[in-house]
Amino acid sequence: MSALTRSPAWQALETHALTARRLSLRTLFREDPARFETHSLVAGPLFIDWSKHLVTRETWQLLLSLARQQGLESAIGDLFGGTLVNHTERRAALHTALRDRSGQAVLLDGHDVMPGVRDVLARMRRFSDAIRDGSLRGHTGLPFDVVVNIGIGGSDLGPLMVVEALRAHMRDDLRVRFVSNVDDTHLVETLRDLDPARTLFIVSSKTFTTQETMTNAASARQWLVTSLGDEAAVGAHFAAVSTNVGATAEFGIPADRVFEFWDWVGGRYSLWSAIGLPIAIAVGMDRFEALLEGAHAMDQHFRSAPLEINGPVVLGLLGVWYTNFLGCATHAVLPYDQYLHRLPAYLQQLDMESSGKRIDRAGSPVEHATGPVLWGEAGTNGQHAFFQLLHQGTQMVPADFIVAARGARQLGRHHDILLANCLAQTQALAFGKTESEARGEMERAGVPTEEARRLAPYRTFPGNRPSTTILLESLTPASLGALIALYEHRVYVQSVIWEINPFDQWGVELGKQLAGGVLSILETGQDRGGMDGSTLGLLSRIAKAGAISPIQGDP
């Protein structure tokens, strides 16, 4: 057993979990009429109801003891203070500085990073304003009517999710599209109906070496040059966001179109940096800054609220409770908001690239579970797809329901129906329906007694399925910023408890490395040896389909 799993706080939680897994939410609510008040909190512009969780006062005290034992309070200070929390890459993780609106210095190695941050924001404002007002034009003198962001992972998911979320603020005459997949269909389908003379590309890549992005960027460049018939068009139709300014120059992007960020910004934490340029162009820089303000409000809450009423801490500790003590392997995120339809995909990278770790900070394998599989879909669509498993399956899946009190569009009864469904689902999950309730209901509806008895087990809902409801007053740039920062900090809280580094991602390297070897066989037909039988067999099938030249030595 590791020191963590042997520790008194951990052991106490394990013992407590033996009885807690039998808790009844019906009983907890019946016995404590103030449960909603004591199990809800305000975090910046968000209201968080965590009363429908399988926790008692004792559970909560034990989780807080675990947090204190793991030094959570000082770890929060380390994050904001520029400590090298990303110890494997010897880097700080100062994404909070990107949205720091306090006017105070943020020191990294004794150097204030804020003047650089403000300088890039000012450049983003000038550039996005000029695209939006049409004063910055393409090679042939036409204003741009579409911006295509080329990036992947953190250089795609964040801006894409936010642009979708803020679509209500977009203009019809300026579209923003995203290309990420190296599958050529993504680029081809994205460019198909575009006018090259009115298209601006932003190549977004922290490293400017990512294979997918560089391949897409090269093909986009060729499309542009071929269509406009002039190599010189590249400078007018491309911008870049990167930490690798040498490589952007080599691509042919003029320095005044290159927006810098820094190695202390992790890819999946980068939408607050110039990686957010497509957002600024889509909805205007004022709204981008409002997004930063919202995130900053959550940062202040996370830094200053006592652990007991600290949103990211509460959500993080609940995550630890379910993952480590109640054996939940997955976590669902269910935005009841069509504008947030890409939030689960975005959170998958944020959460799973951060928490999918098996080696602790001391370099030893962990002996406890770490990040659960995060998944989700916009409500109410999910209700008609996978909610069956949430309600009556054999696994417990803690779920986050996210909804705005006021809808963005005021169309008929739509928003009332959406809200009603959201709240009803959390009710059904928590309180279920007993077998005798199911039978009684059917009998009252005229179903013959015998038939009602036969069907009752199938129509029973066990309940006690936990959920959090995150309520926004309305979906605005500020509330969205706060929501994203809430999840970022939740990930950090869990990493502190689990003693893992949430800021590296070595697990993505091996596949990239091996792809090089496979690609070389695909393109040359030559196997230099060492390839496994399965991969060679598949390559041979691909060759036989006529897609590539025969593999050397293949019969």
Residues 238 to 257 in contact with ligand F6P, rule: CB under 6 A:
none
Q: Which residues make beta-bridge pairs with 204?
A: 241
Closest CA to 80 of 98, 61, 60, 57: 98
- Complex with ligand F6P: residue 206 or 489, whichever CB lies closer: 206
How many Cβ atoms from other residues are within 10 Å of residue 362's Cβ? 8
How many Cβ atoms from other residues are within 10 Å of residue 420's Cβ? 12
- Complex with ligand F6P: residue 268 or 357, whichever CB lies closer: 268
List 106, 152, 403, 485, residue binding ligand F6P (CB under 6 A): 152
Taking the complex as a whole, the smallest distance from the CB of residue 508 to ligand F6P amounts, in Å, to 4
Stretch of 43-51, 151-159, 366-374, 422-430 lying at the interface with ligand F6P (CB under 6 A): 151-159
Taking the complex as a whole, the smallest distance from the CB of residue 507 to ligand F6P amounts, in Å, to 9
The order of strands in the sheet holding 175-179 is 175-179, 146-150, 199-204, 238-242, 258-260
Taking the complex as a whole, the smallest distance from the CB of residue 212 to ligand F6P amounts, in Å, to 8
Q: Is 267 in the site for ligand F6P (CB under 6 A)?
A: yes
Q: Is 153 in the site for ligand F6P (CB under 6 A)?
A: yes
- Complex with ligand F6P: residue 76 or 152, whichever CB lies closer: 152
Q: How many residues bind ligand F6P (CB under 6 A)?
A: 14
Alpha-carbon gap, residue 208 to 515, rounded angstroms: 18
Residue 349 DSSP SS3:
helix
Residue 379 DSSP SS3:
coil
E strand residue ranges, 101-145: 107-108, 111-112
Alpha-carbon gap, residue 224 to 436, rounded angstroms: 68
The DSSP code for 166 is: T
Closest CA to 217 of 241, 193, 192, 194: 241
Alpha-carbon gap, residue 351 to 483, rounded angstroms: 14
Please give the C-alpha separations between residue 19 and each of 11, 12, 121, 251, 325, in angstroms, as whole numbers: 14, 12, 53, 62, 11
- Complex with ligand F6P: residue 104 or 513, whichever CB lies closer: 513
Binding mask 18-37 toward ligand F6P (x if CB under 6 A, else -) reads: --------------------
- The catalytic site residues sit at 353, 384, 512
List 218, 508, 519, 538, residue binding ligand F6P (CB under 6 A): 508
Alpha-carbon gap, residue 104 to 100, rounded angstroms: 8
Taking the complex as a whole, the smallest distance from the CB of residue 242 to ligand F6P amounts, in Å, to 8
- Complex with ligand F6P: residue 409 or 512, whichever CB lies closer: 512
> How many Cα atoms are found within 13 Å in the side-chain-facing hemisphere of 310?
23
Q: 132 — phi, psi (to 5°)?
A: -70, -35
Residue 101 DSSP SS3:
coil
- Complex with ligand F6P: residue 152 or 236, whichever CB lies closer: 152
Taking the complex as a whole, the smallest distance from the CB of residue 498 to ligand F6P amounts, in Å, to 19
Taking the complex as a whole, the smallest distance from the CB of residue 191 to ligand F6P amounts, in Å, to 20
Closest CA to 511 of 289, 194, 182, 239: 182
Please give the C-alpha separations between residue 32 and each of 21, 53, 525, in angstroms, as whole numbers: 19, 14, 70
How many Cβ atoms from other residues are within 10 Å of residue 457's Cβ? 10
Alpha-carbon gap, residue 227 to 318, rounded angstroms: 55
Would you list the DSSP string of 169-212? G--TTSEEEEE--SSHHHHHHHHTT--GGGEEEEEE-SSS--HH
Taking the complex as a whole, the smallest distance from the CB of residue 190 to ligand F6P amounts, in Å, to 18
Stretch of 15-23, 150-158, 254-262, 379-387 lying at the interface with ligand F6P (CB under 6 A): 150-158
E strand residue ranges, 53-141: 107-108, 111-112
Residues 326 to 365 in contact with ligand F6P, rule: CB under 6 A:
353
List 268, 331, 357, 490, residue binding ligand F6P (CB under 6 A): 268
Residues 209 to 238 in contact with ligand F6P, rule: CB under 6 A:
210, 213
- Complex with ligand F6P: residue 208 or 498, whichever CB lies closer: 208
- Complex with ligand F6P: residue 269 or 322, whichever CB lies closer: 269
Q: Is 469 in the site for ligand F6P (CB under 6 A)?
A: no
Q: Is 273 in the site for ligand F6P (CB under 6 A)?
A: no
Taking the complex as a whole, the smallest distance from the CB of residue 268 to ligand F6P amounts, in Å, to 5
- Complex with ligand F6P: residue 289 or 504, whichever CB lies closer: 504
Residues 155 to 214 in contact with ligand F6P, rule: CB under 6 A:
155, 205-207, 210, 213
Taking the complex as a whole, the smallest distance from the CB of residue 408 to ligand F6P amounts, in Å, to 29
List 505, 521, 527, 551, residue binding ligand F6P (CB under 6 A): 505
Where do contacts with ligand F6P occur on this chain (CB under 6 A)?
152-155, 205-207, 210, 213, 267-268, 353, 505, 508
